Structure 1
Amino acid sequence: MSALDAIMGGAVGGTLYGIGVGPGDVRYLTLRAAGLIRSVDVLACFAKEGRNSCARTVAAPLIETGREELTLYYPVTTEAPVGDGAYDEPMRDFYEASAEKLADLLRAGKSVGLMGEGDPFFYGSFMHMWRRLERDFAVEIVPGVIGISGCAAKANTPLTWGDDVLTVLPGTLDEATLACRLADTDAAAIMKVGRNLAKVRRAIAAAGVLDRAIYVERGTMPGERILPLAEIQAETAPYFTIILIPGNGRRI
């Protein structure tokens, strides 16, 4: 075994690994994530029905032909605010069924690596599996570079200075709440933009920070696009879109 292989470490049977694959560029994976992607018995991922998994696409250069894989297809592909029954109920059933599929593999003594974009514990679907399985099975979390960090790096934009407070907001919040939160923070990152782009832009303008807002589409991925939000006229955005509002704190 090489020194690098020893650092990466292998997988243990009967263990569920939540593997953060980072913001989109495979080179941003951690050594531990890369080692597990190559060593677990089963590689699992979430995906939209009829589409390739984004997490698997990121990790593809590390996946050898013939690996045992499990793809869990979402029944709903457009996120909604928490409490929306039309979203919550089918997703709850889906997560229950998905957890049982993973449990069957773990009971059989297999190691399972469930890959996800960014970090497993930062708005990740893995959390729903962790909540259902961690009492009965060994679970290891492999943190990943979050999309916010990747987008800020590619936009060449420091997010916080000095004592700046950073607020992370989901674009699914209502417009008034978004505007209020944005007006009450030094710096912000807005996720889950998608079809909420127009609403998010209005909230940013109402909070008086449109001049600082940066639109980052598919940050670190092929097709990356970075522009001032004020120049974006579209009503919707691709799933992998984040809006950054850098802080203006004390700079030494």
Structure 2
Amino acid sequence: MIGKLYGVGLGPGDPELMTLKAYRLIQNADVVAYPTLEGGDSFARSIAADVIPNGVGEIAIHVPMSVEREPAQAAYDTGAADIAGALDAGKNVVVLCEGDPFFYGSFMYLFSRLADRYETEVVAGVTSVTACAAAVQKPLTARNEVLTIIPGPIGEDDLHARISGAEAVAIMKVGRHLPKIKKVLTELNLIQHAVYVERATLPVQKVMPLADVPEPAPYFSMILVTKGNDPWL
């Protein structure tokens, strides 16, 4: 009998934001798999650490931090092969994903390699975008507003154009791109409407006006921009 593959969203970091379904699947897993920075720890595993049963099989997928795609793709090839071996042995495999599996989630790369061969279920998780809005205590959008989600690594000209044409903005993956983002928002006279959130939902969470944020910023940080409109009032 072939095992079943689950891609399980864990939420942005606070273990209490895991869904009941995620909790149940992890507790009953034969094998858990998770991405980990090459030579480092796994953020996804740390979220679920208290739920993972003793003695369960574990597959760590060591993903190198590189701007080149090939090393990461090779890591997912290896991880998918290891997961396939467990599934072929009749074991159910739960892949742990911080946030949501299909929202900038690493599970998509495993899904593309395995879903055509194995029964697969994707379990949604609380996203970092909604977690940051809750931390800021300000709605992301209201009525007919359109939310634009922008990855921080895109080029400066593209960033400028996308923010300029947007109504409400969430900028993800800030990290080393903070100076560029600050520059663009200053040029657009929007920095006073921008709020910075770092490591949302974790005990070390920080929330502050973007203008007050020192450099550098961690990868797990986000900037929310509402352009001063308050349609919910």
**1:231 equivalent in alignment to 2:205:** no
**1:23 equivalent in alignment to 2:3:** no
CA distance in 2 between counterparts of 1:230 and 1:216 reads: 12
Deviation sequence 1:12-62 (CA, Å, 0-9, x none): 961110010001111111111000110010011001123221011111121
- In 2, are the aligned partners of 1:186 and 1:249 still within 8 Å (CA)? no
Q: How many angstroms does 1:98 deviate by?
A: 1.4
RMSD: 1.5
Extract structure 1 runs of 4+ deviating beyond 3 A: none
SS in 1 for 2:62: strand
CA distance in 1 between counterparts of 2:123 and 2:217 reads: 29
Identify the range of structure 1 (224-233 vs 58-67) with the bigger mean alpha-carbon deviation: 58-67
Identify the range of structure 1 (43-52 vs 30-39) with the bigger mean alpha-carbon deviation: 43-52
Deviation sequence 1:48-78 (CA, Å, 0-9, x none): 1232210111111212332221111112x25
Q: What is aligned with 1:4?
A: none
CA distance in 2 between counterparts of 1:218 and 1:55 reads: 13
Query: What amino acid does structure 2 have at the position aligned with 1:14?
Result: G
Identify the range of structure 1 (200-209 vs 111-120) with the bigger mean alpha-carbon deviation: 200-209
CA distance in 2 between counterparts of 1:110 and 1:141 reads: 17
Write the mapping of 1:176-187 to structure 2, written as runs, cut at 5 A: 176-187=157-168
- Number of corresponding residues: 232
Q: TM-score, normalised by structure 2?
A: 0.95
- In 2, are the aligned partners of 1:175 and 1:202 still within 8 Å (CA)? no
CA distance in 2 between counterparts of 1:175 and 1:99 reads: 35
SS in 2 for 1:243: strand
- In 2, are the aligned partners of 1:21 and 1:117 still within 8 Å (CA)? yes
Q: What is aligned with 2:31?
A: 42
- In 2, are the aligned partners of 1:164 and 1:249 still within 8 Å (CA)? no
Query: What amino acid does structure 2 have at the position aligned with 1:158?
Result: P
Q: What is aligned with 1:66?
A: 55
Q: How many angstroms does 1:165 deviate by?
A: 0.8
Q: How many angstroms does 1:249 deviate by?
A: 5.1
Deviation sequence 1:83-109 (CA, Å, 0-9, x none): xxxx11112222212111111111111
Q: Could you tell me which runs of 5 or more consecutive residues in structure 1 were left unpaired when the two chains were aligned.
A: 1-11, 81-86
Write the mapping of 1:120-131 to structure 2, written as runs, cut at 5 A: 120-131=101-112
SS in 1 for 2:208: strand
Q: Could you tell me which runs of 5 or more consecutive residues in structure 2 were left unpaired when the two chains were aligned.
A: none
- In 1, are the aligned partners of 2:59 and 2:82 still within 8 Å (CA)? no
**1:188 equivalent in alignment to 2:177:** no
CA distance in 1 between counterparts of 2:50 and 2:77 reads: 31
CA distance in 2 between counterparts of 1:226 and 1:232 reads: 9
**1:245 equivalent in alignment to 2:225:** yes
- In 1, are the aligned partners of 2:5 and 2:94 still within 8 Å (CA)? yes
Deviation sequence 1:128-176 (CA, Å, 0-9, x none): 0101111100110000000011111011111112211100000110011
Q: Percent identity?
A: 41
- In 2, are the aligned partners of 1:163 and 1:249 still within 8 Å (CA)? no
- In 2, are the aligned partners of 1:43 and 1:69 still within 8 Å (CA)? yes
**Change beyond 3 A, Cα 1:13–1:205:** farther
Q: TM-score, normalised by structure 1?
A: 0.88
- In 1, are the aligned partners of 2:175 and 2:218 still within 8 Å (CA)? yes
